[in-house]
Amino acid sequence: MDYDSSTLIQLKTMCKDRGLRISGSKTEVVIRLMEDDESKSPQPISIGQSNPQQTVTQIIHINNSSKSLPVLFGIAIVIYGLFRAYVGVMFLGEMIYFESFIAIILGVGYITCGITTMQGYKAGIYGALGVLAISGLFSVIYHAEFSPLSIGMGDIIPIEWTLCCSGSCMLIVAIPLLVAPDEFDDGKPPIMNLLMGGSDIAVHELSQGLAPSLDTRSKAEPKAATEKIVVSCPHCDKSLKVPSDFSGNVRCPMCKERFTVE
């Protein structure tokens, strides 16, 4: 299949249909699709033009793209954000407008960070930790008041409990980065691209990550297969297959390190 002639959006749509991760540059997405093709129909391939008779044994790459940890923690953060926003709305009836408004903003912040975490980005966890830190600060400031920003409930609960609660929440949210950092990607999540620039790709990635049924773009017809070559990652010796006419930087799906293909 000639992936090089397809657009980034079309390539990411193919990844989503196959259950593969959709993040990364066009080169990384192309390599991910090629590895998936080869894992389903292993066969020897030719290497280069200088020695067309040389073949290698197909290496089957087991793609572990279904990662449940980011999704589970992301859903938990979204639910907590909905709860905080709901509490803020309820306190509007008590005419505590400023504190309620802040509580609703914090709830929206949690929800945004939860969605980003569900998509597998470290930025979601970092953002949730930041919102928790701000929320903890407000909890201390309004500890002696009956407010949607504090669990002190008018100084009925000791302030030590408030600090312990905030610290425990931050530790729980940080667990994914401590135990399984490889399940999260670096870089700017698509929701940030949408907020900052509103690009079509950002909109597409958000729809793919949260509601695949929203994508109504037509999929390109497959074309003739492109000749590929095998290269080895200099960091872990993992064998990768890339288009024969490709040159540039790639990232190894095994060790996550980048190297140059010439």
Q: Which residues is 123 bridged to in the sheet?
A: none
Domain residue ranges in the chain: 8-65+197-261, 68-187
Going residue by residue through the chain (262 aa), what tens digit of pLDDT does each one get? Answer: 667 778 878 888 888 888 888 887 888 888 888 887 777 654 444 444 444 444 444 444 434 444 688 899 999 999 999 999 998 898 888 777 888 899 999 999 999 999 999 988 888 899 999 999 998 898 888 877 878 888 766 667 788 887 888 889 899 999 988 888 888 888 777 666 655 554 444 455 555 554 443 343 444 444 445 677 888 888 887 787 778 777 778 777 777 788 887 7
CA 87 to CA 80: how far, in whole Å? Answer: 11
pLDDT value of residue 91: 87
Count of CB atoms within 10 A of residue 119's CB? 25
Tell me the whole-structure pTM to 2 decimals. 0.50
Torsion of CA 228, 234, 235, 239, to 10 degrees: 30
